[in-house]
Amino acid sequence: MFMDRFLFLPILLIVLGCQQEDFSRDALENCVDVVHDYAYLRDRLDGQGVADLFTEAGVFSIFGEKFQGREAIKKRMDGASSGPVTRHLVSTVEIRPQGPGEALGISYVTVYLGPRSESTNPIEVEGFAGIGEYHDRFILIDATCKIRSREFVPVFTYQDG
């Protein structure tokens, strides 16, 4: 009886340790790639590409609006095609495992906006439009990192002098 309990504890620790391995270094790097892919795809107005970074029921929240599901996220991104030209500059990406197959992430983003033009000349802008953070919840689906939820949290906004 004592021996059974003695063997149970190491086996339990091994099983729990294996579950924590779900989020490997490769999986974390895959999530970092997702953060950068979002910025790239968003700036290229690739609504389907952005939507595919999310889970089927993923949620994107920005300025009090929530878009749930890939179709709603795609529609929101497709609607940006008539808006200004954007560039999302991502830095400081921090992703931490939260349990088997789950992680939380925070990344900093500086967004620049400029008017659409047919010209090939660079677009003049006065300054950044905003600096904020993306607060992400990631999950692994078939060893691929997907965004379960993403919220933009503004920190600084540009103000004309």
- Between CA 53 and CA 149 the distance in angstroms is 10
* 15 lies in some domain: no
Domain coverage including residue 109: 23-157
| pLDDT for the residue numbered 126 | 85
Taking the C-alpha atoms of residue 51 and residue 41, their distance in angstroms, rounded to an integer, is 10
For residue 9, tell me if it sits in a domain.
no
Strand order in the sheet with 85-99: 65-68, 54-62, 144-157, 130-141, 102-114, 85-99
Q: How far apart are CA 70 and CA 64, in angstroms?
A: 18
Q: Decide if pLDDT at 106 tops 60.
A: yes
CATH number at residue 86: 3.10.450.50
Residue 149 belongs to some domain of the structure: yes
- Is the residue at 3 inside a domain? no
3-state SS class at 65: strand
* 7: in domain: no
pLDDT tens sequence across 19-62: 444 689 999 999 999 999 999 999 999 999 999 999 999 999 99
Instruction: Say what the pLDDT of residue 13 is.
Output: 42
What's the mean pLDDT when you consider all of the chain? 88
Cα-Cα end-to-end distance for the chain: 77
Is 10 a domain residue? Answer: no
The answer to the question of residue 129 being in a domain is yes
Q: What local confidence, expressed as pLDDT, does residue 20 receive?
A: 40
Spatial CA neighbour of 150 closest among 46, 44, 37, 45: 37
Provide the number of structural domains found in the chain: 1
Q: Which one is predicted more confidently, 20 or 161?
A: 161
Residue range 106-134: mean pLDDT, rounded:
94
Whether 13 maps to a domain, the answer reads no
pLDDT for residue 23 = 82
Are residues 28 and 97 in contact, defined by beta-carbon separation less than 8 angstroms?
yes
Residue 4 pLDDT class (50, 70, 90 cuts) = low
pLDDT class of 129 with cuts at 50, 70, 90:
very high
How far apart are the C-alpha atoms of 59 and 80, rounded to whole Å? 17
